[in-house]
Amino acid sequence: MTKKQIQKALQHAKQKLKNIPGISEDNGPFSKIDTAKDSASIQGAIYELQVALHLLSKSEIITFFGKIFSDGPPEFDIETTKKLIECKNWNWQTIHPGQITKLKSSLPAQKAKAAIAKKEFILYTRKKPPKDIMRWLTKKGIKVIKYCVKI
């Protein structure tokens, strides 16, 4: 995608998602894009927007971006009326082991918080995680949806 195409896609997303709380706040995707220090962070925020547009196309009602409950972390990228969603735009084969360790701590905490909120917790990922990570996710009862659109 050219820079002009990316800008056009972001404008489209901003128009479609503009009334959803959190869209431009500190933890929202547009703020993440504006303050990103590297391209991976920008691509991650763009992936959140792509997942959100996909959810809208499936008639999901998005209620918040960058959701943090009043009693604190963990954060969720997207909240719908029935789901709390974490988005990962990772190439799982090249992820540093420290990030995997952090993920293995944060995902169960997110799942537990979602259960308290009486919502389903889902991990959206652009690429399918390796078999060992998928086994771990399955064992922890974490639903994974591979969703990929061309960038």
User: In this predicted model, what pLDDT tens digit does every residue of 21-47 receive, in sequence order?
Assistant: 988 887 788 888 888 888 888 888 889
Q: Which CATH architecture has domain 3-146?
A: 3-Layer(aba) Sandwich (3.40)
Report pLDDT for 80.
97
**Is 94 exposed, middle or buried (CB count within 10 Å of its CB: 0-12, 13-18, 19+)?**
exposed
Q: What is the pLDDT of residue 1?
A: 61
pLDDT at residue 84, as a whole number: 97
H-assigned helices in 18-96: 29-35, 39-57
Q: Where are the beta strands (DSSP E) in the chain?
A: 62-69, 72-80, 83-88, 120-125, 143-146
Task: State whether the Cα torsion 43-45-3-9 is positive or negative.
Answer: positive
Provide the whole-model pTM: 0.89
Q: What is the pLDDT of residues 95-109, one digit of tens each?
A: 999 999 999 999 999
With 0-12 / 13-18 / 19 or more C-beta atoms within 10 angstroms meaning exposed / middle / buried, residue 54 is middle
Distance between CA 107 and CA 128 in Å, rounded? 16
Does residue 149 carry a pLDDT above 80? no
What pLDDT is attached to residue 151?
47
Choose from 7-21, 69-83, 115-129 the range with maximum mean pLDDT: 115-129
